[in-house]
């Protein structure tokens, strides 16, 4: 069994689609292990997005993630990381396929509704940081 971190970003909270997002993962057969609505600290956001700290868009991204609580979740299942990433769609919503979460509900970056771990190493680090 593989585990992955998913969090619903502020725009997903604002759009009131938390249940829809969770439902898609449940219907796929993934198991929700943990869930918490939390406002991240600046330090947690900086750790989470460490690879983007020096990029020009980072201050806007950090402010956006800190603008409201997020819904953080740990999902598990066979190939959970790849399955979740397929369900959420491409990072850039304009390239996300219809039928994916981002393809159906998101318009632009950074407002792409959800974050999902991209590897087992990232998942372990991100779960530890958020939970």
Domains detected in the chain? 2-40+70-120 (3.30.70.141)
Could you read off the pLDDT of 63-116 as tens digits, one per residue? 999 999 999 999 999 999 999 999 999 999 999 999 999 999 999 888 999 999
**For residues 18 and 26, what is the distance between their CA atoms, to the nearest angstrom?**
12
Question: What is the side-by-side strand order in the sheet with 2-8?
Answer: 31-38, 70-77, 2-8, 114-116
Which of the following is catalytic: 115, 117, 126, 127?
115
Strand partners, 77: 2
Could you read off the pLDDT of 4-59 as tens digits, one per residue? 999 999 999 999 999 999 999 999 999 999 999 999 999 999 999 999 999 999 99
Is 52 a residue of the active site?
no
**What pTM did the predictor assign?**
0.94
């Amino acid at each position: 069994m593989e585990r992955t971190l998913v969090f619903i970003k502020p725009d997903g909270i604002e759009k009131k689609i938390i249940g829809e997002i969770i439902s898609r993962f449940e219907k796929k057969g993934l198991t929700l292990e943990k869930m918490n609505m939390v406002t991240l600290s600046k330090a947690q956001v900086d750790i989470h997005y460490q690879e983007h700290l020096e990029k020009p868009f980072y201050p806007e991204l950090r402010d956006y993630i800190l603008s409201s609580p997020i819904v953080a979740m740990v999902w598990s299942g066979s190939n959970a990381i790849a399955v979740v990433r397929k369900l959420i769609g491409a990072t850039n919503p304009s390239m996300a396929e219809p039928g994916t979460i981002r393809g159906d509900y998101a318009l632009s970056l950074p407002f792409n509704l959800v974050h999902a771990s991209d590897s087992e190493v990232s998942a372990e680090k991100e779960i530890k940081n958020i939970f």
